[in-house]
Amino acid sequence: MTVDAATIVARCDELAAVTATPGQITRVYLSPEHARVNTIVARWMQDAGMTTWQDDAGNLHGSVPGATDDAPVLLVGSHLDTVVDAGRYDGIVGVLMGIAAVARIRAEHGALPFGIQVIAFSDEEGTRFGKALLGSSAVAGVWDEAWWELTDAEGVSLRKAFTDFGLDPSRVGDAAVDPSRLVGYLEAHIEQGPYLEQADQALGVVTSIASARRFTVEAVGEARHAGGTPYERRHDALLAAAEAALAVERICRASQHVGTVGTMTVEPGAVNVVPGLAHFSVDLRGEFDEGRDRVWDEITKAFALIGERRGVSVEPTEVHRAPAVFCAPRLMDAVRAGIVATGSPAPMELFSRAGHDAMSLGLVTDVAMLFLRNPDGISHHPDEFVSEADIALGLDALVTAITTLAAEPS
Ligand code: GLV
Ligand code: MN
Ligand code: MN
């Protein structure tokens, strides 16, 4: 069965209905919604002629064999999990394009010199446990035992969430692929930024993916009466956190990085009590690891000064760290050839400021990414969009990229 761009759009709409929050799209790791989309997408993989399985970290795989028994494997993928109140294309469209590419290649080219394995990663966003890329880290074989103790907003540990989902934590290592068998990893994704649209290009070749770190920060002050406590006696945790958030912006702006405080909670959370405790997150991105780390050092110094001045302790804990990943020239050439074949003679190259599953795979194999134009650059928002026409072009480019690789001498 062939799968065209209209079918991909219809499937994005169908998956958008699988949500924890009616009226929004929210689908997090190891949730009932995660299980449901895996079941639905496995059926689409099977319709495209693939053998399917769920691995020991909850990622869904579908594969078609290569022309010989010992053929290597090209991985193609993206993710099915979402942020809170998400759009319907981030990650999802890349998985569905992978399935559509396999269906088309099987029909038009038969078996290639390599097998193709499409992976629908289960956690790219890190929405539930703060740590991003859990699914692809398991596949890359870079799982860190310390992650088991991460907890979600309800206090459920990652270990318990695995068990509740029907997974055995002791087997997570079995989700790892054998890098010696891989041709590499290709990922199609919406841009999540405005640059392709500004350049009037439907598609682009990714050169590298931003280096990232994430932290949770605890600010501990003292809860006291909002009327009776003069300013000089206050240790207001919210004000320390607010100043810290402004410091993140100031330092990142001055150094060409991006830093975001995306969550903040305050306790005890009463109108007439000076906040005694605040928790907030910091998400930090930059093009290179060294710059990112230098900026973080500056931020922690600013946090310490703010804390000292206000008598509030401001303590960050790192929950996620991913190095910048540089795409492999050989695979970038194939993506470029795919875009050229769609009638765009000089494909735009761009750096990805957003994180992707390719970051984990890039630790063990060659990776490349194809970006699709994202009108107004809006993503992680319900208005996120990619046109059916651009998906059609992207699918043509992905198919050509894969068959270009297949035509290379092994
Ligand atoms: C994922 O979309 C990220 O970049 O946070
Ligand atoms: Mn994504
Ligand atoms: Mn995302």
Confidence of residue 2 (pLDDT cuts 50, 70, 90): confident
Residue from 78, 123, 125, 190 whose mutation best tests the ligand 1 pocket (most atoms within 8 A of CB):
125
Ion ligand 2 — residues with CB under 5 Å? Answer: 90-91
Domain ranges of the chain: 5-209+325-407, 211-322
Confidence of residue 51 (pLDDT cuts 50, 70, 90): very high
CA atoms within 13 A on the CB side of 73: 18
DSSP state of 213: E
Q: What is the largest CA-CA distance in the chain?
A: 79
Residue 1 has pLDDT above 80, yes or no: no
DSSP state of 95: H
**Per-residue pLDDT tens over the stretch 221-241:** 999 999 999 999 999 999 999
Report the nearest atom of ligand 1 relative to the CA of 353: 4
Given CATH 3.90.1200.10, say whether it is the number of domain 211-322.
no
**Å from CA of 315 to ligand 1 middle:** 24
**Per-residue pLDDT tens over the stretch 102-139:** 999 999 999 999 999 999 999 999 999 999 999 999 99
**Å from CA of 228 to ligand 3 middle:** 45
Q: How far is CA 254 from the centre of its chain?
A: 26
> Would the CB of 86 count as within 6 Å of ligand 1?
no
Interacting residues of 92 by C-beta distance below 8 A, sequence separation 6+: 12, 15, 78, 79, 80
> Would the CB of 354 count as within 6 Å of ligand 1?
yes
**Å from CA of 374 to ligand 1 middle:** 15
Count of residues in the chain: 410
Confidence of residue 409 (pLDDT cuts 50, 70, 90): confident
pLDDT value, residue 296: 98
Contact between 295 and 284 (Cβ < 8 Å): yes
pLDDT value, residue 100: 98
**Å from CA of 167 to ligand 2 middle:** 24
Residue from 192, 208, 371, 381 whose mutation best tests the ligand 1 pocket (most atoms within 8 A of CB):
192
Residue 251 has pLDDT above 90, yes or no: yes
pLDDT above 70 as % of the chain: 100
Report the nearest atom of ligand 1 relative to the CA of 212: 4
**Å from CA of 141 to ligand 2 middle:** 20
- In degrees and rounded to multiples of 5, residue 361 shows phi and psi of -65, -30
Q: How far is CA 217 from the centre of its chain?
A: 22
**Å from CA of 212 to ligand 1 middle:** 9
> Would the CB of 357 count as within 6 Å of ligand 1?
no
Residue 167 has pLDDT above 80, yes or no: yes
Report the nearest atom of ligand 1 relative to the CA of 379: 2
Q: CATH second-level architecture of 5-209+325-407?
A: 3-Layer(aba) Sandwich (3.40)
Average pLDDT over residues 231-256: 98
Please report the DSSP string for 52-79 in residue order: EEE-TTS-EEEEE--SSTT--EEEEEEE
Report the nearest atom of ligand 1 relative to the CA of 124: 1
- In degrees and rounded to multiples of 5, residue 122 shows phi and psi of -95, -25
pTM confidence score: 0.93
**Per-residue pLDDT tens over the stretch 356-389:** 999 999 999 999 999 999 999 999 999 999 999 9
CA atoms within 13 A on the CB side of 252: 21
> Would the CB of 125 count as within 6 Å of ligand 1?
yes
> Would the CB of 123 count as within 6 Å of ligand 1?
no
**Å from CA of 298 to ligand 2 middle:** 29
380: nearest Cα among 361, 358, 353, 362:
353
> Would the CB of 193 count as within 6 Å of ligand 1?
no
Q: Which residue shows structure tokens 């270009």?
A: 404
> Would the CB of 240 count as within 6 Å of ligand 1?
no
Q: Give the 3-state secondary structure of residue 266.
A: strand
**184 in the Ramachandran plot: left (φ > 0), alpha (ψ -120 to 50) or beta?**
left
Average pLDDT over residues 27-50: 98
**Per-residue pLDDT tens over the stretch 312-362:** 999 999 999 999 999 999 999 999 999 999 999 999 999 999 999 999 999
